[in-house]
Structure formats: C-alpha cells, structure tokens
Structure 1
C-alpha cells in the first residue's frame, strides 16, 4: 500500500458513512422494476483494498423463483459491483459466474478484488452468488435437518466414520426445503441463466461481458443459448460443456493432466530417448510404489502419494509446485531405481528451486562489494516496506471493525445470546446439551417472538438459570428478539457448513445431469474399466463418485436441449490448462467446435482457472475483452513451456 491509498481508506473510514443515494439511480431500488435492488454492507473485511460504498458496492437483487411465472415467490441474490478504476469507464462490465455448482463468491470481497483487478482498468466487475448458493441462500439453510441429525453430526465432527450420514442429511434437507415451500426443480442452470440477465438489467447494464470458470462456463454457455440479449463477449475458463457426461468422466481431467505432463517429452527425440515410454512408466510406477513404498524424509512414498503430488499442481496458490513438470520424467526414473533425492527435495519444498534476493547476493550475480552493499540496502528497505504495509493493513482492518461496531452497537440481543451460551456450557450432560441445541436450531425459521425464547429456557434449565434468562428476555425489544433469532444461524455456521457445500452441488447436478442415464454409477464404472488401469488407479477412481448414492434422493428434471452442445456466433475466448485436474484440457476445444466466433488457447503449466496461473492468460483475457473481434498475439503461451531435466543434469527445451 502506498501513502495515498492509506489516506483514502482512512478518509473513508473516519468520514461520514456512505450514502446509497449518492450512487447512480440504478443502485437506488434498481434500474429494472421487475428486479428490485437493495444496497447492503459488504462482507468484512473490505479494507485495505476496497472502500465499501465507494470502490465496491454490495446488495441483493430480488428475482422470481420461476422466471416463467411472475407470480412465483422471489429469491434474493447477493451481488458485488467492483467499480472500474477509470474515471471514464466503458459501459459494458464483466460479470463473473463462479464455479461449483455451489461455492459462491460474494463473501470473499478481498479475494475477488485481487482476482479481477486486472480487468477493472476500464470496466466494472460484477459478481453474484447463484440461486441456492451461499449468500444467496440464507433461507435455504436446513436447520431442521441439522437438529434432527445433531447427535451423529457431532459424532462425525469428533472423528466417527458414518458413511450413511450424508445421504440421510440430503434426504431430510430435501424434505425440509420442500415443506418450507421451495420449488427445488427451479434451481437449475436455465433459471440461473435468466438470473444473469435479471441481475445485469437490475444494475442498469444494457450490455455486458461474461467471465465464467468451471461450472460458470456451463452457465455462461446456457446464457448464450437461453438468454443471450445484451451479451457482448464471453470468456470460458476451464470449460465444462453441457454435452460432457461430467460425472461419468471425473477421471478424465486427471489422466489428461498426466498425459500432458509427459507428451512434450515423448514428442521430442532427445527427451524421448532419455526417457522412453515415460507416460506408461509413470502409471506402472504408481502400482509398484503402492505395493512396495519407498521412504524419503521419514515419509512413506506410496503410489497414492505420488499421484497426489502430480495432481497437486492444480493448486495455483502453492508456489512450490510451479515448475514441477521440468523434473517429472527424472523423478519417475529415480523412483524406479529406488533413489529418493528428488522426491525428498519436493517434500522439503526445495524443488523447484525458489530463488530469493539473498541467494542472488550470495554469488549468483557478479557484483562488486559496493554494488552488493547497495543491493542489500534495497532488500532491507523492501523488507521494511512489506512490514509497514502489513501493519497498515492490519490497523485499517481493525479500524473498519471498530467503526462498524460504533455505527451499529451491540444490542441486548447479543447480550442475551451470550448469556444463553454460558448457560448451555453449564449443562453437565451431553444428552442435555444436544436436546437444547436441537430446540435452539429449530427456532431458526420460526417467527421471532419472546415467548419462544421463554419456552426454550424453561424447558432446558433449572429454575434459577431459567429465571435469570427470563429476566433478560423481559428486557428485549422487538428488534432485540429478532436479532437473537438471526444469531441462531450465525452461532451454528460450523454445523451448517457440513450440509451446505455438498448439498448445493447435488441440488444442481442430481436434478439436471443425472437424467436418462446420462451420468450414472454404472456408466462411471464402465468407463474406468475400459481404461484398464491397475488396482491403485481403479481404487482411487472408485472413491470419486460418492455423490451417485446421494443423487438417488433427488428426482431428475430433464429439460429440452440442455445436454446438447451450444451453438452461437457471440465472440468467445476459450482458456484451458494442460494440468487442470477438474475440467479436462480437451473439453475447451470441444466446446469451441460449435462456437463459430471463438478463439481457443491451451496453456502449459496451467491448472483450473487459467487466469490465476499466468500473466500471459490474464493479458490474453484483457486483450480479448478490449476488442473481441480482433486476433490475439499468443506468443506468450509458448513461453510457458518448460524444459525437462536430463539424466546428465542439463535442461533440455522442447518444442511447444
């Protein structure tokens, strides 16, 4: 952070609270009366990168549960608008369609801010949690299901193995949501696509661009098919085309990532001679190590561990895996010989080598004594700047939190909730605590009223404790009572997490992808058997489709053309990564085949979500959005291809 940024954040935090009416008319009630907009505070922390109400705006858009029925109940979709850095932005923003299904984004303001900063030079960036997902689904939390299954859930949190629990939770949650009036078949990708248009219309954007990743690419393709009005251009990153039986082929991305790791070596005469048939040798090695593990750095090197190391390259946030492909053939060769030097370096985080300023000063640069002294002074100053920046960030976060508390001081509701928590801790028996927790959870969707709180405390505490809590309840006003009921969700967030992520995925996948045998346990098993893998790979893959049993609890809802390829003339940029283990590298080209105005790029050393892996991918994405109809200079893609380490210790470059 520079001083100007710090001063701007301080001015915003110490000045008057932001006034939503100060924004454009589209943010005051919304630009489309069909989809009302309400501005709300963004999830904290927002500083130091953003200023709530100035550089970033958050809120909710109300959309119909069924877009074909204007009288259907409404759903509140949580959104973020990151304002463009330019004072003269272009009119067409980028809307981010997150992956999943499930796993929203709007509660991670700072992560999104960093992720999309390169696109904000001239454009707003919009993100929203899809229907039924995270911040867009507070009323869909299955607290009744949690209450009903509380004891086994607590046991599972304690380490108990309860393989049938997940299916039971899914079954009970479906029943609970249906009884509460949710029309679960409306939670699908086609309704999501109509939500995209509704959100952008509500926020006043007549034309917009799409950036979708993973499931977000499937949603983007459905927007192009079902609701293309206003779409200027689309970026599909790590593509999951609707015509792919994704859950039958969950293993394909893993295997393609392995083939892509060794293919440049196998195609190069020098590398192929040094490491003949290296891909098959890797798969053979997995089985050999599983039967006879080696030991390195005190750790058993099994086939499963080696498989995990290769798959771990999909994690962009781990810098230690960058450059691993260089050593992959040599690693296979060493392990075949029983040598563990390279694998030990990997375990210790020494491979690939991570250069530092200190190592440069230690002799890798030819500097005079005076030059080394100046370089060391620069390094010291940079270290102090980093410390100062971290300190400023922490201070601003604390200031933001303090200001929030000052503007909305704690109510008696928080005081009562704390007293209730203390009383619960005083219950001596586990059965008594579980019984209280069940009744407490069951209050989540009841109408807030003091009488329900009185009933709760009188049912579970002795006369003295109940009397003390009843005295506090008598002091609660209507707003305090409502606050207590809202805290029930907050207090049990850890329990809800057990249900939320997996159920959000199943809600979509089971209803729309498991239709007419398109995905099935039988289909998955047949494709695995067809590959002819050894016992290790077959066993590892057999653990993947645990969702098949859970999907049997849902009723499939087929839709016309949904599982067909999307045909479109909209300008599209397709980005795929060679080592992506979540969406296969070949699927991008498959989607592009029917997108007649598309450009497709496959990036070496790139996993899931190409934009976060390299500046090359980010620059190509930005260039495309600036001029979707123009060709793109892709020279930087070939620069990502890594050399291979030869048996003699030299590095050998291969053709892209």
Structure 2
C-alpha cells in the first residue's frame, strides 16, 4: 500500500473522511425484493487494506433453499463486495466462486482482497460463501452431535486414536440436520449455480463475469450449463471438470506435477543427455527408497517422503522455499541414486532453493565504482527501512481498528458471566463432571435464549455455593446479555465444532452428487493410483489405507441429476488456467474442459500450482486483459518466461525456454 492509501484508512477509522456508506440502497433491503439484503460489519481484521462500509461492504442475502419453490424455506448467504478502485468503474463486476466444496472466503476479508486486487482497477469484485458453507451455514453446525460426543471429541483432540469417530459424527450430524428441517439434497452445485445469479441481482448488478477456482470452476461450469443469464465471461482457474472422477484420481495431479517437473529437461537435447530418462528414474528411485529408506539427520526418507518433497509444498504460492525447486530436481535424483544426500539435506533444511535478497545482489555486483557501491548500499538500507515502516504501519492500523471496535462494543455483563462460567467448569474436580456440563452447555445452542435455561444449567452441574453465586449473576443479566451468552456457546466451542464437523461440508456435496453408480469408489481410487506410473510399493503406500471418505460417503444417499457428470458445452467466452505443478487439479484437465467450449482459450502456466493467478503477474495480467475484451485473442507469451533453468552436472544453469 502507498502512504496515501494508509492515510485514507487511518482517516476513515478516525471518522475524519469517507464516513458515508457505499451502496446505501442495501440498507433498505436491496434492489431486488426476491433476495433481501441485510448489511452487517465485515469480519475483522479489515484494516490495513480495506475500510468497512467504504472499500468493502458485507452482509447476508436471503435466497430460496429450493429455487424451484421460491416461497419455501430460505437460506442466508454471506457476501463481501470489494469496491473498484476507479472513480468511474465499468458496470460488469467479477464474482469469485471459491473452492472446496466447503471452506468459504467471507471470513478472510484481507486474503481475498490480496488475491483479487488486480481485478479491482475498474471492476467491483464480489465473494460469497456457498450455501451451507462457513459464514453461510452457521445454523448447520451440528452442536447436538457435538454435545453427545464431546468426551470422544476431546480425547481425539488430545491425540487418542478413534478411527470410528468421524463416521459416527457424520452419521449423527446428518440425522440432526434433517431433524432440524434442512433438505440436504438441495445442498448441491446446481442450486449453488442459481444462487450465483441471485446474489448478483440482490446487489443490483446486471451482466457479470465469473472467476472460479478449483471447485469454483465446477460451479462456474454448472452456472454456464443451467443458469447462464447475464454471464458475460468466465475464467476457470485450476479446473475440476464434472466428467472427471476427482476422488478416484486424487494422485493423478501429483503424478502429472512430477512429470511436468522433468518434461522440459527431457524435451531439451542438452538436458536430456545430462539426465537421460530422468522422469522414469525418479519413479525407480522412489520405489527403491520405499524398499530401502535412507536416514538423513534423524529423518527417514522413503519413497513416500521423496514423493512428498516433489509435490506436497508446491501449491503454496506464499512459501518462497518452494520456488525454484524445479531447477534442482534432476540433480537431486542423480545424487540420491549415488547415495549422496548433500542436496537432500539442504532441501530438508530449506537451504535449497536459495532465496535471493538485495544484499546478495549487492555482494554479487562487480565493476561498480566506490560512489556507485555507496549508492547501491544506501538503496539497500532504504529498502529495508521501507519494508520495516510498511509492516509497522499495517500493524498499527490493524491494532487501531481492533481498539476502536472494542471501544464501540465494550465487554458486556453477558461476556463476563460466560467467563465466570468457564472458570467454574475448570474447577469441577472430575473429568466426567466436566464432560456432563459441556454436553448440556452445548445442547443450549438451539434452545430459545432464557435466564431460566442458564439457571437450570448451573444448578444441575455445580455445588450449592457455586450455583448460588452464578445464579445471582444470572439475575442481573438483561435480555441482551442473555442473548450474548447464548451466542458465545457457539464461539467458545469453535475448536470442538471443527473436529465434530471435520470434512462435513465437502462430504455433503461430494458424497451426494459425485459418488454415483460407481463414479468415484475405493476400487477406482486404488486402480487409478496404480496406473499413473509409480511402482507397486509406492502405490501401495499411498493407497493403504484408502481415504475414509470412500466409506463415509455410504452414509449419504446418492442424488444423481441429469447431465451432472457430462462435459459442459457453452458459447460463452472462457479463459482456462492450469498450473503445471498443481497437485490438486491436474494440468491436463483445463485443456480437457476447453475441448467442449468453442469460444475458449486454455493456458498451462509453468511453475504454477493450485490457483494459477496467485503464482505470477503474468497470469494476473492475462486474466485482467481477458475481462477487458472477452473472446479476443490474448497475448500469452509471458507464460514462457516463467520456465526455469536446470542445474547441470558442471554447476551451470541451462535455459530450456
């Protein structure tokens, strides 16, 4: 951020400027009565990059649980609008469809702001949590299930092996949600697709663009198929095609990532001569290590470890130690074949790839005069000071926001009582007493808030003296205080809730719509893994045990839909991004989807993992250029500049572009 941007946030926090909210029409329910809007504060922290109510606007949108029955039950979808930086923005915004399924974005205001800031030069960017997910699904938390299993969940958190717990929690959670009236078959991608247009109508937009990532690409494709009205263009980044059995092929992206790591070397005569058949040699080495592991400074390195070194961290765009790994990959394989662990040790110590710095560049500079060296050193010193000052300014703005929020909403007596209740719980002498209290406490989540329910709780679980003290405090609680205590029942148990739900959001979608008539199965998973090129020992290590979802999905009913697992065909302009080293969605799946999208352009980016736009300015610029002129031919030549050189046996670097 620039000093001017920091100052704008600072003045807004102090109320000195920009105190008129944007989208004032949303304060009255929004422009579309079919989908009422409720404004709400954004999840903190918003500073230092955003100003709540000005650069970002948050709230919920009411949509039908079943779009074919608009007068039936309703769901609230949490949203964020990131306003365009331009004072004269274009009318067509970008709606971001997040991955998963499950794992929303609305509670990560700063992260989404960072990811899509490049698109806000001329357009608003909208994000929302999909139905049943995170901020759009608080009423779907299975607190009754958690209450009944709180002791086992606590033991699991403490490290106890409880292989049956996840299945039991999922089974009971399904029954709990159905008992509370949720129609679980309606939590599917086709209903999600109709939510997309509803969200955009609720916020007053006409035509709009879609930017989907991972599962968001599957949702984008379904929107193109079943609800394409007003969609202007689509960007599919890290594609999850509906026609691909994604759970059978869990290791296909990993395998393709490894093959792509070596492919440019094998395609270059000089590199191929230095490292002949290097891809196959990797798989042979992994098999050898799986049979006879190495010990490196107390770390056992078997084939699975080597596989992980080549795949596990490569999707982490924010980790600098994963950048540049491709350069050293053939040399690493060659060393390990010879029993030399020098490079492997350096990699385990995160010393390879070496990370560049201004100081390194200064030390390597040759031919500078003394005056030029002094100027260069002054530049490096100033750069360090800028970085330090920027970090300090960001921290101070975030702290200022937190302090202002705390002053505007001071601690209530309800929060004080909740703290006292927690201390009383900790003082219970027996673990069984603590478990019994926790079970009843959690069961209050869906009880109508009342002082009487709290009095019954404390009288049931505490001695007379403690119960009398807590009851006297309850008598002083006002209605708002009582409501706050009941709100904190959810907040105070967030960790237990996460364990109880586990991957429930993902399972809710995947098991109902992707595990259909043998499409995705334990047998298919093992068979596909064994066919991707690795040896039998490594394949067995990766598939034993089979992931638990293959058995847990039997707890859900299959909900097939017409054409759901078929390729999507559309004439909409589409840009398709794939990353060569993506280990979650295979690099080949983007071009596969593009085959049935005649007005599409597919790009596979070197050195890009999951979410290609995060890995390079090249991807961001191409995406922005496409949105400016969908359907036109985009210059993608910058992608070739992302190709890394390879370290040769003589220590030189070979450019293979």
**TM-score, length of structure 1 as denominator length:** 0.97
CA contact (8 A) 1:210 1:235 kept: yes
Measure how far apart 1:212 and its partner are. 0.3
Larger mean CA deviation between 216-225 and 521-530 belongs to 521-530
CA contact (8 A) 1:510 1:554 kept: yes
CA contact (8 A) 2:530 2:536 kept: no
SS of the residue aligned with 1:388?
helix
CA contact (8 A) 1:193 1:220 kept: yes
Measure how far apart 1:527 and its partner are. 2.4
Q: 2:27 & 2:345 partners in 1: Cα distance?
A: 56
Q: Note the 1:198-237 alignment, pairs <5 A.
A: 198-237=198-237
Equivalent residue number for residue 646 of structure 2:
644
Change (3 A) 1:605 1:27: farther
CA contact (8 A) 1:20 1:39 kept: no
Measure how far apart 1:482 and its partner are. 0.8
1:396 lines up with 2:361 in the alignment:
no
Equivalent residue number for residue 367 of structure 2:
366
Equivalent residue number for residue 450 of structure 1:
451
Equivalent residue number for residue 636 of structure 2:
634
Larger mean CA deviation between 480-489 and 635-644 belongs to 635-644
Measure how far apart 1:55 and its partner are. 0.5
Q: 2:342 & 2:537 partners in 1: Cα distance?
A: 27
Count of paired positions: 655
Q: 1:201 & 1:382 partners in 2: Cα distance?
A: 46
1:121 lines up with 2:121 in the alignment:
yes
CA contact (8 A) 2:146 2:496 kept: yes
**TM-score, length of structure 2 as denominator length:** 0.97
Larger mean CA deviation between 511-520 and 344-353 belongs to 344-353
CA contact (8 A) 2:575 2:600 kept: yes
> Unpaired segments of 5 or more residues in structure 1?
none
Give per-residue Cα distances to partners, 1:29-69, cap 9 Å, x unaligned.
11210000011000000001000001000000011111111
Q: Note the 1:89-128 alignment, pairs <5 A.
A: 89-128=89-128
Equivalent residue number for residue 246 of structure 2:
246
Give per-residue Cα distances to partners, 1:327-369, cap 9 Å, x unaligned.
1111101000001121122122221221211122223343222
Larger mean CA deviation between 548-557 and 516-525 belongs to 516-525
Measure how far apart 1:501 and its partner are. 4.9
Equivalent residue number for residue 310 of structure 1:
310
Q: 1:530 & 1:473 partners in 2: Cα distance?
A: 64
Equivalent residue number for residue 580 of structure 2:
578
Measure how far apart 1:100 and its partner are. 0.3
Equivalent residue number for residue 494 of structure 2:
493
SS of the residue aligned with 1:145?
helix
Give per-residue Cα distances to partners, 1:501-545, cap 9 Å, x unaligned.
500000000000011111111222232344573212332134453
Name the Cα RMSD after superposition: 1.6
CA contact (8 A) 1:510 1:551 kept: yes
Q: 2:102 & 2:17 partners in 1: Cα distance?
A: 33
Measure how far apart 1:297 and its partner are. 4.3
Equivalent residue number for residue 338 of structure 2:
337
Q: 1:541 & 1:149 partners in 2: Cα distance?
A: 29
Equivalent residue number for residue 140 of structure 1:
140
Change (3 A) 1:368 1:19: closer
Equivalent residue number for residue 541 of structure 2:
539
1:55 lines up with 2:55 in the alignment:
yes
Q: 1:442 & 1:26 partners in 2: Cα distance?
A: 35
Which of 554, 557, 560 is the equivalent residue of 2:559? 557
Q: 1:19 & 1:485 partners in 2: Cα distance?
A: 33
Q: 1:546 & 1:35 partners in 2: Cα distance?
A: 38
Change (3 A) 1:543 1:483: same
Q: 1:444 & 1:367 partners in 2: Cα distance?
A: 70
Larger mean CA deviation between 50-59 and 279-288 belongs to 279-288
SS of the residue aligned with 1:313?
coil
1:286 lines up with 2:278 in the alignment:
no
Q: 2:609 & 2:27 partners in 1: Cα distance?
A: 37
Q: 1:286 & 1:618 partners in 2: Cα distance?
A: 36
CA contact (8 A) 2:256 2:587 kept: yes
Equivalent residue number for residue 66 of structure 1:
66
SS of the residue aligned with 2:446?
coil
Q: Note the 1:293-442 alignment, pairs <5 A.
A: 293-311=293-311, 312-442=313-443
CA contact (8 A) 1:18 1:53 kept: no
Larger mean CA deviation between 345-354 and 251-260 belongs to 345-354
Larger mean CA deviation between 230-239 and 241-250 belongs to 241-250
Q: 2:589 & 2:334 partners in 1: Cα distance?
A: 31
Equivalent residue number for residue 29 of structure 1:
29
CA contact (8 A) 1:21 1:28 kept: no
Q: 2:74 & 2:430 partners in 1: Cα distance?
A: 43
CA contact (8 A) 1:238 1:608 kept: yes
CA contact (8 A) 1:32 1:202 kept: yes
Change (3 A) 1:635 1:27: farther
Larger mean CA deviation between 199-208 and 395-404 belongs to 395-404
Equivalent residue number for residue 262 of structure 1:
262
Q: 1:419 & 1:69 partners in 2: Cα distance?
A: 46
